Amino acid sequence: MELAILFIVLAALFGLFMAWGIGANDVANAMAPSVGSKAITIKQAILIAAVFEFAGAVLAGGGVTSTIRRGIVDSSLLSGQPELLVFGMLAALLAAGVWLLVASRFGWPVSTTHTIIGAVVGFAAIGIGVHAVHWPMVARIAMSWIVSPVLAGAIAWVLFRSVQWLILERSDPLHYARRYVPGYIFLTGFFMTLVTVMKGLGHIGINISNAQAYAVAVLFGLVVAAIGTLFIRRIPYQEADKKEFHFVTVERIFGVLMVITACAMAFAHGSNDVANAVGPVAAVVSVARSGDVTQEAIVPIWILVLGGIGIVLGLATYGHRVIATVGQNITALTPSRGFAAGLAAAATIVLASGTGLPISTTHTVVGAILGVGLARGIAAINLRVVGGIFMSWIITVPAGAVLSVLFFMLLRWLLG
């Protein structure tokens, strides 16, 4: 019994450390479009994340947790040695946390999903055997790492091209911004609400049909659009002979919109990426309490709360380093460009969270920012920075696996 309590305490500590790494690295990516476009400041980003990341993690974070917890390792092979699964998940959490600490220290935007899955695969392949890994599931997850940046990039390209065509390239950009921006605000409110209703309410025991969920999302989207329109109307119209003066005011309007997309991005990220930290914690707690590695584990609310707290602390203490890389160095962002990238990334993450498929927020956000850059031509993208980001992605999986194997062997020697 004392050993079981020790395992739960270690899982909570390592899970908090891992969640801190998510906040320092991945949340920085999520908030980068808003901060990079100067629509919000670092302090405002932390406040937004504190509310919406935490809400997303606690209300809607249960769906993808099961994929991390049960989908990668054949736990039935450990029915006679449940402690191996405990050691493996603890090692995976510690390995991922250490790697994210290193990466965040140098401002590398790496994937926390890559890190934790690489760590889980590493311990399983060495500690149990290569046959213990569900390779089809790993392949499915790997495919999502390709699909998510491509999908986010395509959505961002379409969104920003629509902004260019409907507003920025018109003779009177401010007039058309007043007309069309409420529609973009509606889309943001719609996506925010959909994931909350379909996942968050179901997670706390309130079940409604898909038709009802979409109806609520449409209603909330309209309300948010109406509120956003009131703010836009308060921005004074600037008469000017030169078109560039109108652009200043248009970007101010998109600055209002970026606050909403930042909230959507934070909620979507919290609902999806908290699984990287709390999934292994839930597995350890379940096995420590029951000794059964195969039973369905219910994720206790305190684990989701732990993950939410860790994520917010990570952004507040270390997030500024990765924000600089992603938000400022890939391509020049304005509020209108940042809006397209932020909403595209939020939509992609919401879709993934709704299907229970872990994706990389890093890949999604970088893909969205690249899509915005490509809408302005390849010369608008800093290819050297993008190449460095791609290299950090390649290093992450083996780094997580190697660290996990080392910690697995150490924990088994100390506690086995």
Q: What is the pLDDT of residues 384-408, one digit of tens each?
A: 888 888 888 888 888 999 999 999 9
Provide the pLDDT for residue 149.
87
Provide the pLDDT for residue 99.
95
Query: Do residues 349 and 57 make contact, with C-beta atoms less than 8 angstroms apart?
Result: no
Query: Is it the case that residue 91 has pLDDT exceeding 90?
Result: yes
Indicate the pLDDT class of residue 201, thresholds 50, 70 and 90. low
Provide the pLDDT for residue 354.
65
Query: Is it the case that residue 340 has pLDDT exceeding 70?
Result: yes
Provide the pLDDT for residue 294.
58
CA distances from 29 to 109, 171, 274 (A): 7, 35, 15
Provide the pLDDT for residue 185.
87
Give the number of domains in the chain.
1
Supply the angle between the helices 243-273 and 42-60 in degrees, to the nearest 10. Answer: 40
Query: Is it the case that residue 284 has pLDDT exceeding 80?
Result: yes
Indicate the pLDDT class of residue 219, thresholds 50, 70 and 90. very high
How far is CA 114 from its chain centroid?
A: 12
Provide the pLDDT for residue 177.
82
Tracing tokens 């049960």 back to the chain, one arrives at: 70
pLDDT > 90: percent of the chain: 19
Indicate the pLDDT class of residue 195, thresholds 50, 70 and 90. low
Rounded to whole angstroms, how far apart are CA atoms 227 and 242? 30
Q: What is the pLDDT of residues 23-76, one digit of tens each?
A: 999 888 778 888 888 888 888 888 888 888 888 787 766 655 555 555 677 767
Rounded to whole angstroms, how far apart are CA atoms 283 and 407? 17
Q: How many CB atoms lie within 10 A of CB 170?
A: 18
Query: Is it the case that residue 295 has pLDDT exceeding 60?
Result: no
Rounded to whole angstroms, how far apart are CA atoms 121 and 127? 10
Q: What is the pLDDT of residues 162-187, one digit of tens each?
A: 999 998 888 778 788 888 989 988 98
Supply the angle between the helices 42-60 and 2-36 in degrees, to the nearest 10. Answer: 130
Q: What is the pLDDT of residues 128-162, one digit of tens each?
A: 788 878 888 777 777 777 788 888 999 999 999 99
Q: Which residues does 363 contact at the CB level (< 8 Å), separation at least 6?
A: 111, 145, 148, 149, 152, 393
Provide the pLDDT for residue 358.
62
Query: What's the whole-number average pLDDT of the chain?
Result: 82
Q: Which of 126, 65, 175 is nearest to 404 (CA)?
A: 126
Domain that holds residue 306: 2-415
Provide the pLDDT for residue 101.
94
Would the pTM count as exceeding 0.75? yes
Average pLDDT estimate for 270-294 = 76
CA distances from 210 to 179, 190, 213, 267, 354 (A): 31, 14, 5, 20, 12
Provide the pLDDT for residue 280.
83
Q: What is the pLDDT of residues 9-29, one digit of tens each?
A: 999 999 999 999 999 998 887
Average pLDDT estimate for 263-286 = 79
Residues in the chain: 416
Average pLDDT estimate for 182-197 = 81
Provide the pLDDT for residue 242.
56
Give the residue, 285 or 14, on which the prediction is more confident.
14
pLDDT > 70: percent of the chain: 86
The three-state DSSP-derived secondary structure of the chain is: CHHHHHHHHHHHHHHHHHHHHHHHHHHHHHHHHHHHCCCCCHHHHHHHHHHHHHHHHHHHCCCCHHHHHHCCECHHHHCCCHHHHHHHHHHHHHHHHHHHHHHHHCCCCCCHHHHHHHHHHHHHHHHCCHHHECHHHHHHHHHHHHHHHHHHHHHHHHHHHHHHHHHHCCCCHHHHHHHHHHHHHHHHHHHHHHHHHHHHHHHCCCCCCHHHHHHHHHHHHHHHHHHHHHHHHHCCCCCCCCHHHHHHHHHHHHHHHHHHHHHHHHHHHHHHHCHHHHHHHHHHHHHHHHCCCCCCCCCCHHHHHHHHHHHHHHHHHHCHHHHHHHHHCCCCCCHHHHHHHHHHHHHHHHHHHHHCCCCCHHHHHHHHHHHHHHCCCHHHCCHHHHHHHHHHHHHHHHHHHHHHHHHHHHHHHHHC
How far is CA 361 from its chain centroid?
A: 4
Q: What is the pLDDT of residues 109-128, one digit of tens each?
A: 888 888 888 888 888 888 77
